[in-house]
Structure 1
């Protein structure tokens, strides 16, 4: 490849905060600094756009009710919940028109959450406005919290 130069990828301009001061990634997902504990998770939930913030509060309250000693963290702009600090059993992420809930051991849940994944055991639940089944979510959280969970890479 003598004489050829590598093409450089144009740099994207930095994302700018919206009127509420929150930087949002594609689909409206809040960009929240990673951290452990309830504080970063509550910051994420407060920054979720529109109706999603209320559902985020409901999901967080259900998780805490079902697993009172749950460990919380925000990594990769996503809140994670686990039964120990370095693993997780449920997380969620904002998309444009729904909240994507991830269960890393979802194929072990009954009934199995409907959304499939490229990863064999992962299953998703897409929560859309006006269609959150709190009772089913609580049951899946109860089941998922009893499984080994997924270990964080770092």
Structure 2
């Protein structure tokens, strides 16, 4: 541990940025800016694709993860950094077609893991985002 003062957020286990709970675009952009290495560019692209697919999307950071949702209808996805990949959680993922590949202990949630050497299928991701935004969101 260092005692140096820095405006950069602390990186938690797996390189996940520690960002204070807050609502709006600014904390999400701070999270993305603090994502380490290759994850930063992927984070920016995910955010661009989500905003393009759902222009009225609401944003927040809770539990050190950006959340995306519909005002008054809850959250439909989150993003979280791990050491070797970025995990996108679709909270109603079992209702999406096709179903995202990553299984969850939560009955409805499905994950998409994005690794450095795994290109993002932007068309499929955008389709999932559009579908997810039209389902009832999670209240958190």
Length-normalised TM-score, structure 1: 0.84
> Aligned pair 1:61/2:48, yes or no?
yes
The 1:109–1:20 alpha-carbon spacing in structure 2 relative to 1, beyond 3 Å, is same
Count of residue pairs brought into register by the alignment: 139
- Decide whether the 8 Å contact of 2:8 with 2:34 is kept in 1: no
Q: CA deviation digits over 1:80-125, x for unaligned, max 9?
A: 0001156100111000000000001000000100111111110000
Aligned to 1:32: 19
Q: Does 1:110 align with 2:101?
A: no
The answer for the alignment partner of 2:116 in structure 1 is: 129
Q: Residues of 2 paired with 1:90 and 1:17: CA distance?
A: 34
Is 1:81–2:68 an aligned residue pair? yes
User: In structure 2, what is the Cα distance between the partners aligned to 1:150 and 1:26?
Assistant: 25
- Which of 105, 126, 132 is 1:144 aligned to? 132
State the structure with bigger RCO (CA 8 A, min sep 6), 1 or 2: 2
Query: Structure 1's 17 and 99: CA in aligned 2 closer, same or farther, altered over 3 A?
Result: farther
Change (3 A) 1:18 1:142: farther
Larger Cα-atom Rg: 1
Structure 1 gap ranges (5+): 1-13
Q: 1:95 corresponds to which residue?
A: 82
Given the superposition, is the C-alpha separation of residues 60 and 45 from structure 1 closer, same or farther in structure 2, using an over 3 Å criterion?
same
